[in-house]
């Protein structure tokens, strides 16, 4: 029987590559996955899944860090221009791009097994290096400023392959499956509003997947990721007063110097004796013309901590430093929470089950049990919700050799590994529902 | 005879206000004054002036700090959309928006008298305060991010009124007049390329004008501005390396921290014992996504000095600090010169002549001779060129009460004062050519 | 037999307290423990130990971070003024304050068991808070700027009590014991020069001890400390040029601004994704008079890392930032290595043995096996040397409730716990040599 | 008659050099001029002047920025060790080192003419460069950390020569003379307490003198210094909380990072459009041991402005930045005013008189009238007080070629120029009292 799955999934590879490259060429940042979501919806309908979409799948009031209405409108139009079904796009108005797809199996009663895939791209300008494969083979991003630099294009392709394989096994399996396609994983904003809409209600088992990352070599798999960093995402605005830089610089209140003082000093917050912390001001934009004292500056930043307490320490320090930086340059300030998530731990017996499945696959030459993550993923929000209801969950990293680190503008992975990931996930489902 | 001019110009006021408000509503930043320049050209032709425009009026290779071709194209299209004559716009392709207009008088031989007016707007977002008159009376900027916050809209209106009045006096005056309409005064970029094209060749006398500024009350006039600050305009780019802010912050090279270190420390350069200096980073933009170590940052900055030596001191310090900031965060950097001008002094006997004319006008209740400027104006480039050829020149500030400082988003001036400025300029011309 | 040791050590408590308070009142920072070392030497001679002192116990060329000759001379004189035997002090000239004391037991052949105690105080100004016990009971530091804020005064008292108890058991035990009294543990400078002099040559088993620290409650003991942070200690000097701050600030080269830029930016070095790092500029001193541009600045700083690689990452970043800060303000710089140590891990079977001994003592209510340290201790240098020769070693933290954190100016511990520590150490020795 | 004075003063040169070198070797910073003041007192008594000293010459409650009692005591003892008369020193206890000396002339009634000389040294470590003349000829400072780097040693020598010459002319001159020897000019602390004690009461004419400075070439003289900068001197303390830098850096409150943020950002305060400003943190000292989060930091700083309003702008900005820097790192702060003075302008007719006297002396090859100072001198306090009572005053800079800028550790001047200064002053007095 193993052979059957392996064989089937291998035959899907060419289509998976085509699919992944089409997504790579048309990346869509968090909450603007209109085209991506429309493609998924269409395909899953064809395969016989029952869809939950739009306002039924995402609670609008829980959304954090959504683009402006104008920007959303523009991206919707682009999605349609790039071939998305206008009717499907309309249902997602306002950025409601998440969806889930259910299938009841005919093999009898059994648990509800959920798989989560993320869809969004990064705010990265893809390199123009001609050696970068997407440039060489013509599938580099055509949406300037957006790039699939974290492999979510691959995740969607894997999800669609898994969907097809499980649909094929409809009569054979028992229980049911739910495929969750999440928007806005970058910035850990998408999971919350989908959990609030019920995406993990009655789910007994859940698995989340990432390609490469810590499993940075083809042939490797990490079955029990733990140590998801708690994180907080802020937008900060400083407001001062503009003035003529030549004639009356003293009449200005320099919001840019406030932003620089905040940025530098927040990075200098004392490392915490109890564990890992992070601070990053990922973007700063301030001032208007060259000869005008800057009256405004904007920061996009985040903190992280191994535990929620450590993240709280960081946000506490940051809040005080931001207030002080504003005072330092006689400005006012505003902090807006744009995202955030808590920590999470895998269910031990499910880690073992995953290791058993992985060990049975010749594709895996290195099977790792538990590994500290050192990063954030709002999948931990879904997993914790399942566990809180007595369910179990893990987060799996499927190995893939890559050309550069995640979020780097040269990022690319080994496309063949998508097949291995799909095979593993289907076999993991079968090990519970078979 | 005085009465005649005063009377005539007073009758022009309603039209001047309409003109100024139309320009205020459609501000065009440096090198994109397509619509403004087209309006001026059309009007001056009607009045019988001989025009020099496009590539004859601006040497393309001397242009500094021009927008990208794409941006120029966009602004050209906007100008046409907002009513500019497409044919006139075409001649200005590439930002060649400067022009001059000549008229030979019939009263006999005499000197060539030039008047210079600037046309560009600022990179300021106009306030949405409903009390701001342009909002209240419906002529606020419709070009987001651009605003006439320095009164150049008024300067153009004054220039057109002066043109009309002088044309009326064609038979009476001797010698000739040249009206120079300069682009890109903000950033002191426009004068050089026009001087290189010959705009002050054979000019004997020149006057430049600014409304309000140091003459910040209606009824005041400053006849002999001196102490124009020498200035240098740079764009600076820092390039580092992006990395995942959670998993591998140590793999990044943080270009934003380099930019913050440069900005803060450049503002801390020692004040110079020999005189006034200035340093302003007017704009900083760095980083991409919130959770990515910033791989790039961009500064738009300027230095100034009472003398060219003092400005050189500032640029020398800045260059070293920028290099060091790049080293500090393991980044590379690039400095691009975007503009700059030298100092300038008024011709004493022309200051006296201007004071005599001003004193004769009841509109002026406070006539100031010499005053230190403490700011930069690339008119000083034109004036110095005239003086170098044995000519004379001054820069006049005509008083106007205003609502906020120049370059402030609440800036507005007293429109009636445009009449006073036009009257003064015509009478000054007549005092030499009458 | 247990009773006998417990009973004996309990009877030593009053003398231990007197001893500890005398040391607390006369704290001596690293390499100046002249009085402390003289007291120890005298006592151990009386007890029949064979001493190795002065140049035989410390290799002068290996010493890092020693005070200047003038300062050493001053401290030697102070030691004598405060009652130290002048002859003993003379042997330690140049800061050679380390010593070790050997005793051969008569119970037969057996391993050589070493115990290490540190002697130095901190550069802390003791609080004047009247509620602080040393103030209330009259044993606060009389050496301004020096304070036993890490409990090394207690360590010496424990060491002397252990010496007395083991001397009492001379006939009963086999093998031999070596008591190592180390200078300059603060700044991790003292272990290296003593190891170079042979202090752990032929040692089979070694134990190091700290009171309180992570065992922050009376009744607790941690038997297997691991995760000693590798660390590097630097002194950094920036040299610029002085100038008159009013008349000619531009003629100066501001070494203090260089030091501030270095300090702030070093604290902002990216946290490392692979594990714990630390950076501290513990002291900065720069400038001369208020109205003089500072021509010199001095930093005393340290980095740490969970592994030597992580510490190397920090020193690499710091070196570049220091170079850049000097360039930024046109200064020269110099880095001098003042100390440093590598990581270290406990021997597992010795941890178990220690846990067995601890569990047998009713004084311990919480016996912890392995615990991550998150700090540096150059005992790890001695322990690693013993292990490299096939020996075994651990570092034990004996619980004590304290009034404030280590290195805080309010630090004090529960003196009764010295008895518990001494009892444990003697019983640990007996478990191997009994 | 001119010849007589010139001849007499020339014969004093060898003694003046000896005197100046003795003072150079024994520099005494502000408020500790015990030895200097004792030498002056003794000599003036011998010459027949009537002295006002100690508490009669300095109002203790008006003193700013005095050293601690312990430091004053130490310096008093040093003065005595270095040969000062113990009885004279006793009168100056607490730093009351200022004095004035009066002589009534016998030539008839006339105005009271005051001359002011300053006595204090700088907080500069004199260079060890063997080419520096004080090193080469054996009169370099023996008081480490103190150096006459501003020429006040020369001023005292000039003052004593003037005293001798005027005493010689007792019968010939009319009116009276007062020689004021002021302490603590550095930091502009000494003038106020002497004015409060009455040092310029009933004075009709006053002259202050500086050697070299803006008159940086032998042969030059500046008769009418104007534009004394107003200035404010502060000591600032930041208090945080210490913690172990390895184990618990997050428990600290880093006062040193607060001091660095304050220092860097204060230097970045916007230059003022209305005129000259200055900001200098001349000294920063923070932290204790290398491995302890710094709980304390101390700044010695000053601001200046061309007018008192400009200095107020600077202190206002600084106060807010200091408050913000403390908040930024969760510290408290304290600001202590240590000194300060206001602006001052010369009396025009006295400038002319001085120019006449200077022009008559062949030693002067370049006689300058009015020159902007761009620095602070609390002589302006005395001069303003005289002028406020209807008197007149100037500040004269007597040319001298020097080896390095004032306050530089290589500073030295041309000793022969002391003769020129003395001759000029005596002739200026004679021009009024002759």
pLDDT tens readout for residues C117-164: 999 999 999 999 999 999 999 999 999 999 999 999 999 999 999 999
Find the farthest-apart pair of alpha carbons in chain D and give their distance in angstroms, rounded: 82
What is the number of other CB atoms lying within 10 angstroms of the CB of residue A144? 8
Strand partners, D397: D210, D222
SS3 D368: strand
Give the best residue of B288, B296, B311, B395 to mutate against chain A (max A CB count within 10 A). Answer: B288
| Range A397-424 burial, b when 16+ CB lie within 10 A, else e | bbbbbbebbbbbbbbbbbbebbbbbbbb
Backbone angles phi, psi at C425, to 5 degrees: -65, -45
Task: Reduce the secondary structure of chain A to three states and give it as a string.
Answer: CHHHHHHHHHHHHHHHHHHHHHHHHCCCECCCCHHHHHHHHHHHHHCCCEEEEHHHCCCHHHCCCCCCHHHHHHHHHHHHHCCCCHHHHHHCCCCCCCEEEEEECCCCCCCEEEEEEECCEECCCCCCCCCCHHHHCCCCCCCCCCECCCCHHHHHHHHHHHHHHHHHCCCCCCCEEEEEEECCCCCCCCHHHHHHCCCCCCCCEEEEEEECCCCCCCCEEEEEEECCCEEEEEEEEEECECCECCCCHHHCECHHHHHHHHHHHHHCCCCCCCCCEEEEEEEEEEECCCCECCCEEEEEEEEEECCHHHHHHHHHHHHHHHHHHHHHCCCEEEEEEEEEECCCCCCHHHHHHHHHHHHCCCCCCEEEEEEECCCCCCHHHHHHHHHHCCCEEEEEEECCCECCCCCCCCCCECCCHHHHHHHHHHHHHHHHHC
**DSSP H/E element including D397:** strand D392-398
Task: Give the three-class secondary structure for C217.
Answer: coil
| The two three-digit tokens of residue B243, written as one number | 């990395």
Compare all CA atoms of chain B with the CA of A276 and give the residue at the minimum distance: B246
CA distance C92 to C71: 14
Q: Mean pLDDT across the stretch D321-347? A: 92
Taking Cα atoms as reference points, which of A230, A180, A174 lies closest to residue A209?
A: A180
Cβ contact, residue pair B263, A278, below 8 Å: no
Q: CA-CA distance, B281 to B322, in Å (whole number)?
A: 12
Sheet holding B176-182, edge to edge: B50-53, B99-104, B176-182, B112-118, B205-211, B392-398, B220-226, B366-372
Q: Which residues of C touch A276 (CB under 8 A)?
A: 271, 276
- D407 and C301 within 8 Å at the Cβ level: the answer is no
Contact (CB, 8 A) for B262 and B301 = no
pLDDT of residue D164: 97
Name residue, tokens 């004068």: B191
Is A261 within 8 Å of B263 when comparing Cβ atoms? no
Identify the residue with better confidence: A163 or B339. Answer: A163
Contacts of residue D187 in chain C, CB cutoff 8 Å?
Answer: 289-291
Reference C363, options C400, C412, C403; nearest CA is C400
For residues A146 and A24, what is the distance between their CA atoms, to the nearest angstrom? 10
Residue A104 falls in which region: left (phi positive, over 0), alpha (psi -120 to 50) or beta:
beta
How many angstroms away from the CA of C330 is the closest CA of chain A? 22
CA-closest candidate to residue A179, choices A165, A192, B332, D211: A165
Q: Which of D268, D271, D279 sits opposite B264 (nearest CB)?
A: D268
Domains and CATH numbers, chain D: 2-226+344-433 (3.40.630.10), 230-340 (3.30.70.360)
Dump pLDDT digits (tens) for D67-123. Answer: 999 999 999 999 999 999 999 999 999 999 999 999 999 999 999 999 999 999 999
ipTM value for the complex: 0.71
Residue D1 has a pLDDT of 45
Cβ separation of B282 and A301 shorter than 8 Å?
no
How many residues would you count in chain A?
Answer: 434
Listed residue (C241, C244, C245) closest to C255, CA to CA? C241
Please state the φ and ψ torsions of residue C120, each to the nearest 5 degrees. -85, 160
Contact D250 A268 (CB under 8 A): no
Residue C341 in this model has a pLDDT that exceeds 90: no
Residue D3 has pLDDT above 80, yes or no: no
Closest-CA residue of chain A to B406: A244
Residue in C250, C268, C330 closest to B313 by CB: C250
Give how far Cα B286 sits from Cα of A319, B242, B298, D304, Å. Answer: 21, 12, 6, 35
| Pairing mode of beta strands D332-341, D205-211 | unpaired
Q: Can you give the pLDDT at residue A1?
A: 45
Q: Are strands D176-182 and D296-305 parallel, antiparallel or unpaired?
A: unpaired
CB atoms within 10 A of CB D303: 27
With an 8 Å Cβ cutoff, are D257 and A272 in contact?
no
Per-residue pLDDT of chain B (434 residues; tens, 9 = 90+): 457 899 999 999 999 999 999 999 999 999 999 999 999 999 999 999 999 999 999 999 889 889 999 999 999 999 999 999 999 999 999 999 999 999 999 999 999 999 999 999 999 999 999 999 999 999 999 999 999 999 999 999 999 999 999 999 999 999 999 999 999 999 889 999 999 999 999 999 999 999 999 999 999 999 999 888 889 999 999 999 998 888 889 999 999 999 999 999 999 999 998 888 999 999 999 998 888 999 999 999 999 998 888 999 999 999 999 999 999 999 999 999 888 887 788 999 999 999 999 999 999 999 999 898 878 898 999 998 999 999 999 999 999 999 999 999 999 999 999 999 999 999 999 999 99
> What's C402's DSSP letter?
B
Distance separating alpha carbons of residues B38 and D374, to the nearest angstrom: 50
Pure H helices in B82-203? 86-91, 133-136, 152-168, 191-196
Beta pairing class for B205-211 and B220-226: unpaired
User: What pLDDT score does C187 carry?
Assistant: 84
Q: Do B273 and C252 touch (CB under 8 A)?
A: no
Q: What one-character-per-residue DSSP string does D162-204 give?
A: HHHHHHHTTTT--SEEEEEEES-TTTT-SHHHHHHTTTTTT--
The burial of C275, by beta-carbon neighbours within 10 Å (0-12 exposed, 13-18 middle, 19 or more buried), is given as middle
Residue C344 has what pLDDT?
82
Helix, strand or coil, per DSSP, at residue B318: helix
**Cα–Cα distance for residue pair D111/D102, rounded to 1 Å:** 13
Cβ separation B247–A406 shorter than 8 A: yes
User: And the tokens for D39?
Assistant: 């030498």
Which three-class secondary structure state does DSSP give residue B105? Answer: coil
Write the residue in B264, B278, B376 that is nearest to A261 by C-beta: B264
Neighbours of B137 (CB within 10 A): 9
Cβ contacts (< 8 Å) between A324 and chain C: which residues? none
Cα(D261)–Cα(B321) distance, integer angstroms = 18
Q: Checking DSSP bridges between strand A296-305 and strand C296-305, what pairing results, if any? A: unpaired
The H-or-E segment that residue D222 falls in is strand D220-226
Residue positions counted in chain B: 434
Which of B241, B244, B245, B250 to substitute to test the interface with C, most C CBs within 10 Å? B250
Higher pLDDT, C274 or C59: C59
Question: Cβ distance B95 to B72 under 8 Å?
Answer: yes
What tokens does A139 get?
């599938």
Mutation target vs B (from A282, A335, A341, A395; most B CBs, 10 A cutoff): A282
Are B268 and D268 inside 8 Å of each other by CB? yes
- Contact (Cβ atoms closer than 8 angstroms) between residue A191 and residue A379: yes
Residue C253 to residue C154: CA distance in whole angstroms: 48
pLDDT of residue C134: 97
Selection from B127, B398, B340, B228 nearest residue A247 by Cα: B228
Q: In whole angstroms, what is the distance from residue C276 CA to residue C288 CA?
A: 37
The reply to whether residue B324 touches residue C320, judged by beta carbons under 8 angstroms, is no
Closest CA to A331 of A269, A268, A286: A286
In 3D space, the residue among D344, D239, D234 whose CA is nearest the CA of residue D293 turns out to be D239
Quick one: pLDDT at residue C359? 95
Tokens standing for A231? 């994180």
The token pair that represents A199 in the structure block: 């995406």
> Which of C264, C271, C272 is the best residue to mutate to test the A interface, defined by the most A CB atoms within 10 Å of its own CB?
C271
Taking the CB of residue C236, how many other CB atoms lie within 10 A of it? Answer: 26
Q: Which residue of A has its CA nearest to D247?
A: A273
Which residues of B lie closer than 8 Å to C, measured between beta carbons?
247-252, 254, 257, 261, 265, 268, 270-274, 293, 313, 320-321, 323-325, 327-330
> D125 vs C302: CB contact, 8 Å cut-off?
no
Q: pTM of this prediction?
A: 0.77
Contact by Cβ (8 Å): B178, B166 = no
Q: What are phi and psi of C136, to 5 degrees?
A: -60, -40
What are chain D's partners, defined as 3 or more CB pairs within 8 angstroms?
Answer: A, B, C
Which is it for strands A277-287 and A366-372: parallel, antiparallel or unpaired? unpaired
Alpha-carbon span C154 to C159, nearest angstrom: 9
| Interface contact A327-D330, CB threshold 8 A | no
Query: Which residues on chain D are in Cβ contact (under 8 Å) with A274?
Result: 250
Q: What mean pLDDT do residues C179-198 have?
A: 94
Check pLDDT > 80 for residue D343. Answer: no
pLDDT at residue C1 above 70? no
Number of alpha carbons in the 13 Å side-chain half-sphere of residue D358? 23
User: Please, how many CA atoms are within 13 Å of residue C110, restricted to the half-sphere of its CB?
Assistant: 22
Whether B271 sits inside 8 A of D268 (CB atoms) is no
Query: Residue holding tokens 């083809």?
Result: A218
Q: How far is A231 from chain C (nearest CA, A)?
A: 15
């Amino acid at each position: 029987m193993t052979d059957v799955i392996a064989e089937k999934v291998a035959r899907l590879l060419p289509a998976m590559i085509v699919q992944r490259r089409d997504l790579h060429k048309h990346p869509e940042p968090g909450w603007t996955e209109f085209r991506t979501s429309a493609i998924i919806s269409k395909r899953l309908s064809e395969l016989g899944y029952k869809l939950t979409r739009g306002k039924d799948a995402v609670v609008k009031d829980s959304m954090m860090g959504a683009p402006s209405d104008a920007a959303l409108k523009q991206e919707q139009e682009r999605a349609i221009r790039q071939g998305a079904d206008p009717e499907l796009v309309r249902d997602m108005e306002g950025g409601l791009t998440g969806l889930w797809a259910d299938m009841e199996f005919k093999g009898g009663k059994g648990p509800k097994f959920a798989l989560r895939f993320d869809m969004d791209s990064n705010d990265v300008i893809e390199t123009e290096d001609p050696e970068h494969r997407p440039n060489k083979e013509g599938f580099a991003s055509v949406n300037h400023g957006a790039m699939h630099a974290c492999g979510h294009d691959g995740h969607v392709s894997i999800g669609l392959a898994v969907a097809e394989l499980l649909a094929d096994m409809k009569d054979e399996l028992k229980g049911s499956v739910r495929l969750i396609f999440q928007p806005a994983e970058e910035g850990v904003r998408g999971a919350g509003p989908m959990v609030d809409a019920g995406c993990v209600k009655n789910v007994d088992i859940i698995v989340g997947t990432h390609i490469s990352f810590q499993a940075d070599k083809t042939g490797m798999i990490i079955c029990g990721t733990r140590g998801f960093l708690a994180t907080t995402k802020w937008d900060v605005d400083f407001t001062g007063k503009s003035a003529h830089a030549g004639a009356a610089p003293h009449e200005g209140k320099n919001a840019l110097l406030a932003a620089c003082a905040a940025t530098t000093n927040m990075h200098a917050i004392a490392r915490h004796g109890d564990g890992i912390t992070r601070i990053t001001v990922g973007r700063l934009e301030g001032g208007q013309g060259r000869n005008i004292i800057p009256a405004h500056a904007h920061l996009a930043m985040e903190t992280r901590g191994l535990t929620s307490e450590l993240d709280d320490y960081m946000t506490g320090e940051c809040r005080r430093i931001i207030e002080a930086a504003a005072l330092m340059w006689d400005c006012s300030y505003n902090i807006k929470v744009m995202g955030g998530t808590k920590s999470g731990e895998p269910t031990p017996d499910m880690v073992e089950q995953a290791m058993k499945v992985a060990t049975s696959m010749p594709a895996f030459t290195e099977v790792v049990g538990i590994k500290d993550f050192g990063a954030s993923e709002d999948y931990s929000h879904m997993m914790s919700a399942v566990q809180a209801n007595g369910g179990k969950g893990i987060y799996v990293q499927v190995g893939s050799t890559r050309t550069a680190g995640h979020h780097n503008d040269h990022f690319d992975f080994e496309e063949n590994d998508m097949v291995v990931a799909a095979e593993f996930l289907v076999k993991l489902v079968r090990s519970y529902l078979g």
